[in-house]
Amino acid sequence: MNKLYEIVLKTPWPYWIAGIILSLLNIFLLITTGSPWRVTSGFLYWGMGFLEKLGYSDFTGSYIELYGGLTAGETFLLNTVSILNVAVIAGALLSVLISNEFKWKKIKNAKQVAFGITGGLLMGYGAIIAFGCNIGAFFSGIPSFSLHGWVFGGSMVVGGVIGSKILMRYMV
Amino acid sequence: MKEEFLDCMHEACPIPLLKALKKLEQMKAGDLLIMKTDHNCSITNVIEWVDKQGHKMDYIEIGKGEWEIYIEKVVSDE
């Protein structure tokens, strides 16, 4: 029992097993909801829902109006992507709690905060103009036979190399 | 044999890996690097990378979600 706990819940799973599970789950998601896994559009919906709460409702010419996304009965706050995003966080929390690795992380220094905020803004902006993040554009884009998934993948490698060089220079 | 210490607490991927990479470059064969991290991804990517490089390593969980990684630099004479 102890050994099983160690293997299944304590040590990281091999990439290929995780890959197979993720792709099966994505197939299940496509069948049940009609759309493969997306993440960032959920944050966009939340932002627009927030604007809507503030009384702003003219989204003419916006990403959502141009490319749609929400199905009938869904709102900016309550929709499939929102539920999935909350579920991902809940699942990750459950996983660290079971493996007894949960920990509140402290902020190291101001530099970490500055890098975090800048990186977050760039990622958020980039993900929307790229039609998704590494999940929506890459992980779901490629099996949807969309060319943009491959372009995204290639750009991600280039961006990763440049990003590591910047980190190496300023953060390490 | 020298002993080096890297404090990677509260640092996220890939900083611990990059720090180890930089530190190991400056070290000599037989030197020991001790890393302290609270990022569970480091347990995967640092160890995978160190293993690929052929260095000796081991790690223990010293507390809830905190690890110490021990790396002994090995230089192969190819």
**Are residues B66 and B37 in contact, defined by beta-carbon separation less than 8 angstroms?**
yes
Q: Which residues of A touch B43 (CB under 8 A)?
A: 12
Minimal CA–CA distance to B42: which of B23, B28, B61? B61
pLDDT at A163 over 60: yes
Minimal CA–CA distance to B43: which of B25, B62, B67, B19? B67
CA distance B6 to B40: 16
A12 prior amide bond cis, ω within 30: no
> Which of A105, A117, A166 to substitute to test the interface with B, most B CBs within 10 Å?
A105
Minimal CA–CA distance to A43: which of A24, A69, A23? A69
Is the minimum CB–CB distance between A168 and chain B shorter than 8 Å?
yes
Read off the pLDDT of each residue in A34-51 and give the average, rounded to a whole number.
91
Quick one: pLDDT band at residue A20, thresholds 50, 70, 90?
very high
pLDDT digit string, tens, across residues A69-115: 788 788 888 999 999 999 999 999 999 999 888 988 889 899 999 99
Minimal CA–CA distance to A7: which of A17, A123, A133, A44? A17
Is the minimum CB–CB distance between A169 and chain B shorter than 8 Å?
no
**Are residues A99 and A7 in contact, defined by beta-carbon separation less than 8 angstroms?**
no
* pLDDT recorded at residue B78: 54
* pLDDT recorded at residue A5: 86
Which amino acid is it at A14? P
Helix, coil or strand: residue A69: coil
CA distance B11 to A103: 13
Query: Higher-confidence residue: B40 or A146?
Result: A146
**In this structure, what DSSP letter does residue A34 have?**
S
**A171 to chain B, closest Cα gap in Å:** 7
**Are residues B17 and B45 in contact, defined by beta-carbon separation less than 8 angstroms?**
yes
**Hey, CA dihedral for A22, A26, A27, A31, is it positive or negative?**
positive
Strands B32-37 and B56-63: unpaired
**In this structure, what DSSP letter does residue A54 have?**
T
pLDDT at A17 over 80: yes
Q: What is the pTM of this model?
A: 0.83
Read off the pLDDT of each residue in B11-27 and give the average, rounded to a whole number.
92
- The pair of structure tokens assigned to B32 is 């020991």
Give whole-number Cα distances, A31 to A15, A164, B76, in Å. 24, 38, 52
* pLDDT recorded at residue B73: 95
Instruction: List CB contacts of B31: < 8 A, sequence separation 6 or more.
Output: B1, B2, B3, B4, B72, B73
> Chain B residues contacting A, CB < 8 Å?
9-11, 14-15, 18-19, 22, 38, 40, 43-44, 61, 64-66
**Are residues A77 and A133 in contact, defined by beta-carbon separation less than 8 angstroms?**
no
The complex's ipTM?
Answer: 0.76
Neighbours of B23 (CB within 10 A): 18
Query: Are B18 and A164 in contact (CB < 8 Å)?
Result: yes
Give whole-number Cα distances, A124 to A56, A71, A120, in Å. 21, 23, 6
Query: Residue B33's beta-bridge partner residues?
Result: B4, B71
